[in-house]
Every structure is written in structure tokens, then in C-alpha cells.
Chains A and B, each alone.
Chain A
């Protein structure tokens, strides 16, 4: 297929997206939320949470994290947990209540696709979240294998059992020490 047109360039979301993207505070209906799970949804119900940091380790409060995932059966199906969107708060914190996805690509470990937008990011960044309790699957995962070994842990969310349920911690460091691996795909 010949490519006759040029891609429209990306631009930053700027600082003032919240009333459009996460408009509950403004009394409006959101397109998508950070609670993907419903009470009866099959699979392990989990929370994913973390802080987004800039190159000096300061939390970024005008950032949006979007996720796209399969359901517990590894399928992207209508009615399953799928797309989520969460703006960071004043402490740079975000979270999603969802189900732990099953593996959806043969040979790949279970994972969630993640996109990061922020003021100061002219183009968005893609990463992916893996699960710390999937040790064997992670070791066999071709994408993790393509990442330098000393950076792999930036892609692995750490599981903790808390009184409120299972929480996976996934901090995102846009730049600098412990910089999250971002992908071109």
C-alpha cells in the first residue's frame, strides 16, 4: 500500500485537558474512567497504582495515563476490561481498578499497554506493564528480552497484598535515574 499522505504531527495535551478528559469534577460524563472492573467480572480484581515523575524526581500532576488490556481470559472482548484513563493528582499519583489480564499474544507474558501524555510532552510515550508474580512468563517474554537487563524492572509492576486487595505498584519515570523503558511500535 503506497503511503501518499503524511501523518498529522502530534502536539502536547497542554495543562488544561482535565475538564475534557476527566470531567467528572466539572459535572460532565467521562468517556472512560479508571475503574474498568465491575463486581461480577471474571478474573482477579486488582488495583494498579503509581506516581509519574519528571527528570528531577518531581511528581507530574498534569499527566494522563491510558491503558488498554485484555480480560482475564486473554481476549479483548466487548464488555471485558479494556480501555482506561486516569489523570494524575497533585502528588502525581494515578490508579486503575481492573482485572489482571491473561496473556493475549502467544509466547508473551500477561501485560497491559500503557500510554503517557503530559504537559511538556509534545509526543506521547508508549510503555507496557508486566506483573511481578509472572516470573516464568516474564523470563520467556520476547519484549522484555529485547530490553537491556538493567532496565527491565522499570516494566514490572510489584505485587502487594493489602487489606484492601491486591495492588500492583507501577511508577513511571519519564527521564533520568530509573527511566521507564518507552517503545517505538
Chain B
């Protein structure tokens, strides 16, 4: 539960629609009936949205950041062990400290624990596939997990989602909320994926993580870096 409240000084920069996908993106068929059709109405930012929930360590369990351990029943999860780390920054490059991240993902075979997932690939009894962590004072986060597999979906004939990890972030206000997906470098499914391609050209690449030999731990796990940029703040409150 939220344990405290933050109040931001000054308004937040707007959502940058040159970066974010439009609601309607017809190649991703589910958007056709789930996209608002009327233009968004501009709204001045009041206290009711400049504030937001703060989650502390009491929101976390000790293994929440380690998906190779938090679902164990009788052994280790199967798959390629990996570390995902990066920084959460605002648009000015300032770190977003002590903010909560949630992740969820398929197992190494491309199968989710979710009850609706009917993909004919095995569940891993030792992998749950969800985790949480907080950024540190420099905005840095770190998860240990298993590299997720690609999985088929019904959007079009022979549709496969590229391997990805779902990310959910809060940031300093209700307005900085972001849900996104992290992808892997060189994935041949990326150019074929309508969800990835829903993002404007030129912005998509920001969703692709970087392999890092420095993050990679010898004889243990491969390392990937993924930085996340949230909405920033105007220097002074906007009036008018």
C-alpha cells in the first residue's frame, strides 16, 4: 500500500506524443475497438494529479527483485539466467530515486503463469515471472531473472511476440505513470511486431535493451541494460 505521498514542485512536461503510440494502431487489431476516438481534452495539472503514491520497502518482499528465486518450488527455473539493470531518469537526465518498478514476463519457453495463457509450451514449476524493486538514490534498479521466450498470439497469421519483459513504473506523480515493454537487441521478430511498431518510428529503439559485458557476471548470468525516461518537470509552476 502507499505509505506516503509526494507532491511535485511545478508542472510536469506533457506526454510527448512523438514518442508514445497513438491509441489507434490498426495493425494491432485490439486497438480498433479499444482506442478513444475523440481528441484528448487538455487539462491543467492540479494537486490531484501532481501528487502520487510512494511505495517503500514495506511494499516489497525480500526476493521480489530476483525472479530466479521468488517462484522456486523444488529447484531452479530453466533458462538463460540474466541480469536487467538500468536507470530511471526524467527528461532532464535527473535520476528518479526510490521509485517502484514492477515487471512481469513469460518463462524461457514463452509461457505465462497467467490462467488464460493457453500456449502449448510448458509451465516451469520454479518460475512465477513477476517481480518488483525500488530504484536507489541514483535512480538505478536491478533484477535477476530468466530470459523470456517468444510466444505466438492471435493478431494475424503466424504472429509471434518478440521476447519482452513488461515494465510498470510510478515516478513522482500520478502523471508520470508508465507501462512499457523491454525488448532484446537483434531480435528478428521486432520488425514484424505490431505492438513494437505501434511506437512512432525513431522512438522504438528506446525499448530495446543493450547487452553489456560489464553487467554480465562471470560464470553466472548475462547482463542487459535498459534505461527508462519518465516525464520531467517544468522549472517553475505554470500559471494561467
Contact = CB atoms under 8 A, between A and B. Distances in A.
A44 B232 CA distance: 36
B79 to A, nearest CB: 18
B116 A16 contact: yes
A111 to B, nearest CB: 6
B197 to A, nearest CB: 10
Interface residues on A, range: 35 or more
Contacts of B51: 68, 76
Contacts of A5: 89-93, 229
A28 B51 CA distance: 28
A19 B123 CA distance: 14
Contact of B198 (A13, A32, A122): A122
Nearest to A176: B37
B232 A1 contact: yes
B2 A82 contact: yes
A7 B20 contact: yes
Contacts of B19: 6-9
Given A31-B55, A182-B40, A123 B21 contact: yes
Contacts of B222: none
A23 interface: yes
A29 B229 contact: no
User: Secondary structure of the A side of the interface?
Assistant: loop
Interface in B11-32: 13-16, 19-23, 25, 28, 30-32
Interface string A129-149: 000000000000011001100
Nearest to B161: A14
B62 to A, nearest CB: 12
Interface residues of B, number: 89
Contacts of B109: none
A161 interface: no
B41 A9 contact: no
Contacts of A21: 102, 104, 168
Contacts of A176: 37
Given A1-B234, A9-B180, A120-B28, A68 B49 contact: yes
Interface in A7-38: 7-21, 23, 25-26, 28-29, 31-33
Nearest to A143: B43
Contacts of B3: 78
B156 interface: no
B140 interface: no
B142 interface: no
Most chain A CB neighbours (cut-off 10 Å) among B2, B32, B42, B235: B2
A122 B104 contact: no
Contact of A119 (B5, B21, B30, B32): B30
B179 A6 contact: no
A32 B1 contact: yes
A184 B42 contact: yes
A115 interface: yes
B37 A1 contact: no
A182 B42 CA distance: 9
26 contacts: A3-B92, A5-B93, A9-B203, A11-B180, A11-B195, A12-B30, A15-B114, A16-B112, A23-B130, A29-B61, A32-B1, A32-B2, A32-B53, A60-B34, A76-B47, A78-B4, A83-B53, A104-B47, A120-B34, A122-B20, A122-B199, A124-B179, A125-B23, A174-B36, A183-B40, A184-B15
Given A1-B235, A9-B21, A146-B41, 18 more contacts: A2-B92, A10-B21, A11-B21, A11-B207, A15-B114, A15-B116, A16-B106, A21-B104, A31-B1, A70-B47, A120-B34, A121-B23, A122-B28, A123-B15, A125-B36, A146-B43, A176-B37, A184-B15
Interface of B: 1-5, 7, 13-16, 19-23, 25, 28, 30-38, 40-49, 51-53, 55, 59, 61, 89-93, 100, 102-104, 106, 112-117, 128-130, 132, 166, 168, 174-175, 177-181, 195-196, 198-200, 203-204, 206-207, 227-235
